[in-house]
Amino acid sequence: MRIILLGAPGAGKGTQAQLLMNKYGIPQISTGDMLRAAIKEGSALGVAAKQVMDAGQLVSDELIIGLVKERIAKSDCAQGFLLDGFPRTIPQADAMKENGIVIDHVIEFDVADDVIVERMSGRRVHPASGRVYHLRYNPPKVDGKDDITGEDLVIRVDDVEETVRKRLAIYHEQTEPLVGYYRKEAEAGNTQYHHIDGTKPVDEVGRELLSRLS
C-alpha cells in the first residue's frame, strides 16, 4: 500500500491518513518530519539539508527525493507508506518516477475553496488544552469561551481567512497540476487514481476510501 494523498489544505487528508495508517499498519511520511529526523540522525543527506536550511534556502527536489528513498527503505515501510504533502510539484513527481519509487494508489480529496475557507476560518482553539471548536459544526456553549475552563478561545494564524486563501492559491498553482499528471499515470497503468468527494461526512469518506482500496 504505497499511497499518495492529494488535496488542498483543509480537505481532510490528515483525518483519513490516520484511518489508513491504523488499517494497513503503514507510516505517514511528511517531508517536514523526514527532514527533522534525518537532521537529528546526522545522516549524510540530513547534514546536507541542514546546511541548506541554515543558510535560509529551500531544500532542493534532488535532496528531498534522496531523503524519501532513504526513508522508505526503513523496515516500518515494508508494508507500504503514505505520502502527504509530497510530491508538491510535477518535477518532484517526475523525479520520484525516475528514482523507481512506485506508487500503488493516488487519492484526491476534492473540496471546493469556499467550503475549505468555511471549515478552517470557523475553527476556534483553546490553547492550553488543544480543544478545537467550530462556529458552525461544533460551537462552544458560550461564544468565544472554552466549555470546560471558560477561558478565551483563539483563532490560529493558519485558520485566518486571508491565510487560508493564500495557501489555497499556492496549492492551485503548484500542486493541483498533479491531479492531471496522476490521472494520466493511471491511464498508462502505472498507478490507480481515486477521486473522493471530501465534502461528505468524515465516516462516509472513510468507508468509501477503504472500499476503493480493498
| Candidates 2, 13, 119, 124; catalytic one | 13
In whole angstroms, give the CA distance from residue 139 to residue 49. Answer: 42
Rounded to 5°, angle at Cα 126 from 123 and 128 = 150
Q: Is 40 a catalytic residue?
A: no
Whether the CB-CB separation of 171 and 11 falls below 8 Å is answered with no
Among the listed residues 40, 74, 141, 156, the single catalytic one is 156
CB atoms within 10 A of CB 94: 14
Helix axes 31-41 and 61-72, enclosed angle (nearest 10) = 80
The one catalytic residue in 23, 88, 131, 145 is 88
Quick check: is 167 catalytic?
Answer: yes
Residue with cell 461544533: 138
State the catalytic residue, choosing from 23, 36, 145, 167.
167
Is 123 a known active-site residue? Answer: yes
Catalytically active residues are 13, 88, 123, 156, 167
